[in-house]
Structure 1
Amino acid sequence: MGAKRVWSTTGVVALTGALLLTSAPTASADYVRDQQWVLDAYKMDATWALTQGEGVTVAVVDSGVDGSHPDLTGQVLQGKDFTGGGNAQEDVAGHGTGMASLIAGHGHGAGNNAGMVGLAPKAKILPLRVLQKKNDDFEDDTWAEAVRYAVDNGAKVINLSLGDSVGGTLTSGREAIAYAQARDVVVVAGAGNEGGFTVAEPAALPGVVSVGAVDDEGNLWDKSNTGEGLTLVAPGVEIVYANTNRSDGYGLSSGTSDATAYVSATAALVRAKYPDLTAGQVINRLIKSASFLHHKGLKAPDREYGYGIIRPNKALTMDIPKGPKDGPLGQLSSSTGSKTGGATEGSEDGSTQAKEQDSSSRLPIALIIGGIAAVVVIGGIIFAVLRNRRNGGSGGPGSGGGTPPAGPGYQPQPSTGYQQYPSSAPNQGYPTPQGQSGQTFSPYAQQPPHQGQ
C-alpha cells in the first residue's frame, strides 16, 4: 500500500543565509555549527561526557544515507537497498542523510568543530533504503522488510522518519513492528506534519515511540500532528541537517522527521549508557525524564505534548526505576504463538468481522426500535439541560473554556513519579558549540514546573 510520507516540510531550503534564531550568532569558526540551536539548548557537552552512543546501531529506514558526507564518514554501515536501486548509500532525495546526521553526525575539521553534530555522534548508522525519489510511495511491504532486516542485523533502535498519514498500517507492517519489539528493539516514528488531530501510523501503533515537533522555545510546531497515542515531542523547527545534494552540503528543515531523529539519538544514548535495559525500559527512561517545561497545567499523556519534551541528559542521569520489561507503551502482538497478527489477524479481518456483521444484522426489530427511542429521549434530556444552563448559568456562552474533553479511551495519567527539572550540569567533555547560547530565550534551560502540574 502506498502512503503519504511524514517528511520534513522545508527540506529543500538551503542553509546559506538562513537565520534560525531571533538574534544573530556570535562570530565563531563555523557557521553551520552556530545554527544548531538544539546542541546549545540541551547543553550536549555535559551529556557527551557520559556517553556518545558508543556501540549502538541505529537503523535509518529512509531514502538512503550518503556515508561520504564529511560529517558522517566512518559512521555509516553498508546497509541494504530495498528499492531495486542497489545502493543504500545513494540518497537522491537527501532525507535519509539528513536524519542520520541528526542522530550520529560527528562534524569535521580540526577537533570536529565544524559541520553537523548529532546527539549520538559515536552511534553507527545502518542505512536501509526504502525510497529513491521524494515522490515515491512509502510501501508497507517494503519498509516492513527493512525493519526485519534491521532487527536481524544488530540495530537496537529503528528510526522511521516516514509514515502513513492517510490510512492504516497493513499486516506486513504491523508484523514487522511486532517482530522488532519482541526482539528488544526501540522503534521510533514521526507523528505527521499535517497539523491534524490523529497520529500517523506506524507511529500510532502500540509500543512505538511516536514523536511530535516543538520549536526553540519549547512550543508545539503548528503542523505537528497531535492526538491520542502521542508519546514525546522533540526539537523539529528550523533544523540544520547534512545534505550532499546541495552545493554547500547542508539544508534547513522543519518537521516531525527531525524530531524523530533526535528521539532515536536519545534512545541510542540510553542504550549505550544502560546496556542491560530492555527496549521497553529504555522507553520508560525517555518518558519519565521528559518534561512539559514552561507549559503549566498539562497532564501526562497530553494530546499535544505526549509525556513531554525529551531531555537527553536527564534520560541518562535521573534516578528512574527500570520498570516492567515491556515498558509503559506495551507491544504489538506477534503472529508467533499468538491469536493476533499474521494469518490469524487476516482471519479476524475477514471471517470474524463477517460473523459480527451477520450477528448484528439479526438483532430483533423491537430492540432496534427501543434503542432509537432511548436515543431520542436522552437527546431531549441533554437539550433541556443545556438550554437551562445557557439561561441560568452565570458565565454566558463559552464561559466554560478550558481543554476540550479527550477522545474515547484517553486516560491522562497522574504525575506521580515525574521529577523536577534540575539545573544543567556544568560543561565538560565534548567541546562546547559556539554561537547562540545566551542570546535567545531558551526554555530548555529553565526550571520547569512538575510535569503533572
Structure 2
Amino acid sequence: MGFKRVWSTTGVVALTGALLLTSAQTASADYVRDKQWVLDVFAMKDTWSETQGQGVIVAVVDSGVDGSHPDLTGQVLGGKDFTGGGNAQEDKIGHGTKMASIIAGHGHGAGNSSGVIGLAPKAKILPLRTLQTRDDNNSDETWGAAVRYAVDHGAKVINLSIANDGGKTLSAGREAIAYAEDHDVVVVAGSGNDGSSRVSEPAALPGVLSVGAVDKHANVWEDSNSGKGLALTAPGVDIVGANPTMSNGYGVGSGTSDATAFVSAAAALVRAKYPDLTAGQIINRLIKSASFLGHKGLKAPDEEYGYGIIRPRQAVTMDIPAGPKENPLGQLKSSNSTSGKESEETGTSVQAEKKKSSSSDILVIAGGIAAAVVVVGVLFAVIRSRRNGGNGGRGFGGGVSPQGAGYPPQHPTYPPAQQPYPNSVPNQGYPTPPQHSNPYTQQPPNQGQ
C-alpha cells in the first residue's frame, strides 16, 4: 500500500512548552489570552471589524479536534475519523485541537475575554482525524482520503499541519491535493521542523501554500525548514493554544504547524471578505500583502521567508487587483485529466510519474527493436552485396530516442512583491531586535499589481 510516516509539524517542542505552561503557578484563562502575542502584532481587533471568517469552513486534517473545549464550543462540525477509532472530536494528542483554536477559537467567559481566540473566530472547523497517537502512520492514503472528504463537504481551506519524513508524496496524496486544487480549495501545509534547507512535502507540491515559522521579532525560527518553494512565513514560536491533554486545557509550543494554522486562518478571513475570488486569487492576496518586515535586501521569493510574513489586516484591506483566476503557485494535475500536456505543465502528475517509472522499460524495448532492425538491415545488405558482386548497396539505420517526462520547478516564478521596508514605526510593547523596532507594525509600499 506504500504506507509512509507523516509527522505533525509541531513536534516535541510543543509538549515541552505545554508542560511549562501547565506548571506555572499563575496559569489561568486570562494568562492564556495574555500569552497570545500574535493578536497584538497583527492588530486583530482592527481586522475583525472587516471580517471574522464567517461562512468559511476550514478542514483540519490532524489528530482530531475536541469540540467540547470551552474555546471551541459551537465551532466544530461533525467531521470524520479515518483511523478506525470512530470519533473525529476525540483528540488524544492535543495537536489538532490546538490548530483549530489558532484558526477559529472564540475564547470563553464574559465577553469571550478569556482563553484562546483564533484569527478567524467565526469560521467553522471540519475535524478529520488521520492519526490517534504520535506513533501512528499518517499515511498518504489516509490523509489523502481526508482531503477528498473535506472538498466534498464544503471546506474552502484545508489545513495540513503535517510533513513527511523526507520522502515524496505518493499518488494517493498528490491525487487528493490535485482534487482540492481542481475544486477551488486553498491547501495550506507546514514546511517542516528539521531546520533543513528543503521544504518538506506535501508543502512543496505545486499549488500548496507552504509555510515556515518566525518568532515575535519576525526572525525565522531556527528549526523551520526553508528552501526553494517556500511561499509564506507566519508566527510559530511560543504559540499558545487549546490542548485537552493538559490539566488546564492549554499548551505552548513552537513549530511550522502553528504557522500553518495562522495562514489557514488568514485565508479564511480573506475568503469571507471576498467570497467571489478563486482560491488562486485568495493566495495572490496573501502573497501580495505579505512583508519582509524590516529585513532589508531580500528579494521575493526568498528561501527563508518566501514572499514574506503574512499580514492578515493588509490581506483584507489592501487595494490588490484580483488578478488571474489561476493559482500563482502552480497546480497539480490529476491522472484523470484529459490534458495531453500534464507532465510538461506540472511535472508532478501521477501520469508523469508513471512515465518516469517506466522509462527504463521503454528504453529496453526500444533498444531491442532497434537491434532487431539493425540485424535485419545487415543481413539484407550482406545478401544484396553478394547478389551485386560485392558492391556496396543502400543500407539501413535505426534507433528510438524516447523523451522522458520533464519536471519543471514545482513553484512557478511569481512576480516579486517585496522591497526593503522602512523601520521607523514605534513598537507595541514587545521585545525587539537591535536593528529595528517592532517589525510587525511596519508598513511596506503598496504591493497591489
- TM-score of the superposed pair, with normalisation by structure 1: 0.80
Within 5 A, what are the aligned runs for 1:319-398? 319-336=319-336, 337-339=338-340, 340=342, 344-345=351-352, 347-355=354-362
Deviations 1:352-377 (A, max 9, x none): 353257779999xxxxxxxxxxxxxx
Identity of aligned residues (%): 62
- Do structure 1's residue 5 and structure 2's residue 12 form an aligned pair? no
Q: Given the superposition, is the C-alpha separation of residues 360 and 418 from structure 1 closer, same or farther in structure 2, using an over 3 Å criterion? A: farther
Paired residues of 2:207 and 2:411 also in contact (CA < 8 A): no
For 1:77 and 1:151, locate their aligned partners in 2 and report how far apart those are by CA, in whole Å. Answer: 14
Q: CA deviation at 1:121?
A: 0.4
Q: 1:445 aligns with which of 424, 441, 448?
A: 441
Q: Given the superposition, is the C-alpha separation of residues 136 and 17 from structure 1 closer, same or farther in structure 2, using an over 3 Å criterion? A: closer
- Which residue in the other structure is 1:383 paired with? none
Paired residues of 1:44 and 1:313 also in contact (CA < 8 A): yes
Within 5 A, what are the aligned runs for 1:54-453? 54-336=54-336, 337-339=338-340, 340=342, 344-345=351-352, 347-355=354-362, 415=416, 437-441=428-432, 442-448=438-444
Q: Given the superposition, is the C-alpha separation of residues 66 and 361 from structure 1 closer, same or farther in structure 2, using an over 3 Å criterion? A: farther
Q: Bigger relative contact order, structure 1 or 2, given CA contacts below 8 A and separation 6+? A: 1
Paired residues of 1:300 and 1:412 also in contact (CA < 8 A): no
3-state SS of paired residue (1:275): coil
Deviations 1:55-109 (A, max 9, x none): 0000000000000000000000000000000000000111000000000000000
AA in 2 matched with 1:350: S
Q: Given the superposition, is the C-alpha separation of residues 414 and 277 from structure 1 closer, same or farther in structure 2, using an over 3 Å criterion? A: closer
Q: CA deviation at 1:231?
A: 0.2
3-state SS of paired residue (1:354): helix
Q: CA deviation at 1:324?
A: 1.1
Q: CA deviation at 1:151?
A: 0.1
Q: CA deviation at 1:423?
A: 11
Q: Given the superposition, is the C-alpha separation of residues 178 and 275 from structure 1 closer, same or farther in structure 2, using an over 3 Å criterion? A: same
AA in 2 matched with 1:3: R
For 1:15 and 1:138, locate their aligned partners in 2 and report how far apart those are by CA, in whole Å. Answer: 23
- Which residue in the other structure is 2:435 paired with? none
Q: Given the superposition, is the C-alpha separation of residues 324 and 87 from structure 1 closer, same or farther in structure 2, using an over 3 Å criterion? A: same
Q: CA deviation at 1:234?
A: 0.2
For 1:270 and 1:251, locate their aligned partners in 2 and report how far apart those are by CA, in whole Å. Answer: 28
Q: CA deviation at 1:437?
A: 4.5
For 1:306 and 1:360, locate their aligned partners in 2 and report how far apart those are by CA, in whole Å. Answer: 45
Paired residues of 1:56 and 1:271 also in contact (CA < 8 A): yes
Q: CA deviation at 1:236?
A: 0.1
Q: Given the superposition, is the C-alpha separation of residues 318 and 342 from structure 1 closer, same or farther in structure 2, using an over 3 Å criterion? A: closer
3-state SS of paired residue (2:59): strand
Q: CA deviation at 1:134?
A: 1.1
Structure possessing the higher radius of gyration over alpha carbons: 2
AA in 1 matched with 2:265: A
Q: Given the superposition, is the C-alpha separation of residues 324 and 108 from structure 1 closer, same or farther in structure 2, using an over 3 Å criterion? A: same
Deviations 1:262-305 (A, max 9, x none): 00000000000000000000000000000001100001000110
Unpaired runs of at least 5, structure 1: 20-24, 364-406, 425-435
- Which residue in the other structure is 1:371 paired with? none
3-state SS of paired residue (2:162): coil
Q: CA deviation at 1:2?
A: 1.6
Deviations 1:163-185 (A, max 9, x none): 21320000111010000000000
For 2:111 and 2:34, locate their aligned partners in 1 and report how far apart those are by CA, in whole Å. Answer: 15
Paired residues of 1:293 and 1:449 also in contact (CA < 8 A): no
Q: Given the superposition, is the C-alpha separation of residues 265 and 419 from structure 1 closer, same or farther in structure 2, using an over 3 Å criterion? A: farther
For 1:450 and 1:53, locate their aligned partners in 2 and report how far apart those are by CA, in whole Å. Answer: 24
For 2:87 and 2:132, locate their aligned partners in 1 and report how far apart those are by CA, in whole Å. Answer: 10
Paired residues of 2:419 and 2:444 also in contact (CA < 8 A): no
Paired residues of 1:58 and 1:159 also in contact (CA < 8 A): yes
Paired residues of 1:98 and 1:242 also in contact (CA < 8 A): yes
AA in 2 matched with 1:303: E
AA in 1 matched with 2:14: G
Paired residues of 1:292 and 1:298 also in contact (CA < 8 A): yes
3-state SS of paired residue (2:163): coil
Q: CA deviation at 1:410?
A: 8.8
AA in 2 matched with 1:307: Y
Paired residues of 1:14 and 1:246 also in contact (CA < 8 A): no
Unpaired runs of at least 5, structure 2: 343-347, 371-407, 433-437
AA in 1 matched with 2:40: D
- Do structure 1's residue 41 and structure 2's residue 41 form an aligned pair? yes
Paired residues of 1:218 and 1:293 also in contact (CA < 8 A): yes
Deviations 1:39-58 (A, max 9, x none): 01101000000010000000
3-state SS of paired residue (1:12): helix
Q: Given the superposition, is the C-alpha separation of residues 81 and 300 from structure 1 closer, same or farther in structure 2, using an over 3 Å criterion? A: same
Q: Which stretch shows the higher mean deviation, 6-15 or 66-75?
A: 6-15
3-state SS of paired residue (1:241): strand
